[in-house]
Amino acid sequence: AVALEGVLPRLTAPWVGPRVAALLAERAPGLPPAQFGVAGYHEPSQMFATGTGTVLLRNGTAAAAFLAEAPGRYAAVGDRDLAAFQAEAQRRGLTAQEEGSVEGYNYTRGRHIVLRLFRAAAP
């Protein structure tokens, strides 16, 4: 445990939430937290990084619905929810523009994760 004290803080892979927040700030500066939703990564660090108003979306289907319901929204979709997100976006006629991605390690689930940031493309 002592050996990890100096190593773990230097690793970037475990710190997914702050890296998603940085990507979001780069792509959509000043976006209110309620305009951002996350599917597939509901860790407290994400809420601390993007704000308590961040919308926790149940799955990829909910992420596509979230984007379709109002212009200007962004959603981060986890790799396990991507297929459902794409299927629902297609069903709704929503063109989702990928704005970037963050890879990391979900330490509470013990697995690698990829979160892709999407917005609804202009019609």
Number of structural domains in the chain = 1
Question: pLDDT grade, residue 2 (50/70/90)?
Answer: very low
Q: Does residue 8 belong to any structural domain of this protein?
A: no
What are the tens digits of pLDDT across the range 10-41? Answer: 444 568 999 999 999 999 999 999 999 999 99
What's the whole-model pTM score? 0.86
Classified as helix, coil or strand, 113 is: strand
Neighbours of 87 (CB within 10 A): 13
Check residues 82 and 43 and name the one with the higher pLDDT: 82
58 phi and psi, to 5 degrees?
-65, -40
Provide the residue range defining the domain that includes 38.
Answer: 13-120
Q: Does residue 75 belong to any structural domain of this protein?
A: yes
- Which residues, in sequence order, are CB contacts of 39 under 8 Å at separation 6+? 57, 58, 59, 60, 62, 63, 75, 76, 77, 78, 81, 85
What are the tens digits of pLDDT across the range 47-101? Answer: 899 999 999 999 999 999 999 999 999 999 999 999 999 999 999 999 999 999 9
